[in-house]
Chains A and B, each alone.
Chain A
């Protein structure tokens, strides 16, 4: 069927995508990686300076704050989304009525951009008028919840906002997985008098390993790319206490005009993503061998 006439037409159709893939995606990625080894500052400069940018990067305390923030945020965000998402999925699965309503409530934040999410939570966590104020006026004068302004805790505020936004998707993934499990397993478990929560914990959830892994991987990628929510909520502040690599790259590209260093940071982002994928690949390969 793929005769010469159709081959030409197929190729023609795919030409834009070929350009996208080879120039706009892979070409650009390689170029930026190349720039990380150059002397680029305000404009790209093709003079190679070896690993200097990386040395500067690793010597920069700011970078390490941002990089470690990514892991702190990542662990809490991924863990939180998974646990909360799984819990909500289980709760929803038990419902006989009102599933659509609750599902909509848990899902709608996903439709909002992370900028809106960040700005909304910035409002809630505002020390002078937000949660801190509410609790104080309710009586607890000493209550402190000014995490947004705190160097130590600012990064955790980002976790709240991101959780609020991302849990819905994970919940849906789990819910789909739960619902796809054979009814017969349920019947068998019930006949064996196994309590409901145990069915979920020991029987159902283990079967959702693939869903779990996919979720973790997707969330991991989101974490590495988090830019919007950080800028909107804290803009990396106070100072650079809640900075993240994605924002760091942007700042070095466009505000500090140090493209080479920004590129090095960007390459580190990709390296981290590859590190995330490796266990997943390993798991997949082992599964196929078995």
Chain B
């Protein structure tokens, strides 16, 4: 186990920024700390790095308790959001500065710099100063500076927020490739879920200082642990339908107004609901179909709803329907968008739905 966080708590003065964070990261994992602004993800990264001292809890790296250990002695390396390259030093000195501080000989240092610059393809840049580099080049130097120390964990703080969209795509695949090549543990902080879903082996979704869910991208997407995660993840926001659980028959039913659907095959967690419990059913737009053939199973809810509004986004369109006062969204081909007010038959695929307690938001 490369990293173990036990009940980490962190407060600044009276403000609690991190609460009860416990995570385990294996060797070679690519962990993404995902969340909106102010959720505490950068603070958590700084705590792992040792740049901030935790208020409570312990941190173990490769079995060693490093909670009170200096950053330089934790064998971790960090790539900062602004890259933080030393402006007055050449690229090659920027990369080897850490080794210089350790007292490594000049010969060894230049060997290391050569090795790293070859790996990252920045050999021609070695004599330049950071101000003479482009954004993408600077990022590579920053990565090189982290790589050269051969750390147990690579920490990356929103490394791509300063890049334009094209560069971002390129960097994403390069980082993935790098991770594959080195097979070391990466921990990356971001607010961008595409980055999270495309690069991570494990995702920790953070909000208000808590870990809302810790799991693989698949788990996060298909089995969100609570309403927050369900709402946060997904390019097209999940729809939430308010209703109740009826346990009168052998199979529990989800009831909304006059509609009801059996929940056969739904994998409940240990939070089994009680009768008449108000619940929220979450169903993604891509699981709402216009024809029965698209359904993957035979558990579905069929409704006839009027169109309330629609929005064209290129080839697709997002169409909203009025379901007993609530709006739900679905995606259609733009060419086949029905007009406002049209009653349309929809099939809601309950197999891929998620149930949440209406009060706590926890998954049922």
Contacts and interface: CB of A to CB of B under 8 A. Distances in A.
* Interaction A to B: yes
B59 to A, nearest CB: 15
A3 interface: yes
Contacts of A3: 53, 70
B47 to A, nearest CB: 12
Interface string B49-63: 001110000000000
A1 B78 CA distance: 15
A3 B71 CA distance: 11
Interface in A1-40: 1, 3
A220 B133 CA distance: 49
Q: How large is the interface on A (under 10, 10 to 19, 20 to 34, 35 or more residues)?
A: under 10
Interface residues of B, number: 5
A21 to B, nearest CB: 26
A46 B53 CA distance: 51
A252 B53 CA distance: 57
Interface string B64-87: 000000110000000000000000
A3 B68 CA distance: 9
Interface string B26-63: 00000000000000000000000001110000000000
A3 B51 CA distance: 10
A92 B104 CA distance: 57
A9 to B, nearest CB: 14
Nearest to A4: B68
Contacts of B53: 3
Nearest to A2: B53
A6 to B, nearest CB: 9
B223 to A, nearest CB: 39
A232 to B, nearest CB: 45
B294 to A, nearest CB: 55
Contacts of A1: 51-52, 71
A3 B70 CA distance: 8
Contacts of B51: 1
A286 B118 CA distance: 61
Nearest to B52: A1
A4 to B, nearest CB: 10
Nearest to B51: A1
Contacts of B52: 1
Contacts of B70: 3
A1 B70 CA distance: 8
A3 B74 CA distance: 15
A3 B52 CA distance: 10
A1 B52 CA distance: 6
A3 B53 CA distance: 9
A10 to B, nearest CB: 15
B70 to A, nearest CB: 7
A1 B51 CA distance: 5
A3 to B, nearest CB: 7
A182 B50 CA distance: 43
Nearest to B50: A1
B45 to A, nearest CB: 14
5 contacts: A1-B51, A1-B52, A1-B71, A3-B53, A3-B70
In order of increasing CB-CB distance, the 5 nearest A-B pairs are A1-B51, A3-B70, A1-B52, A3-B53, A1-B71
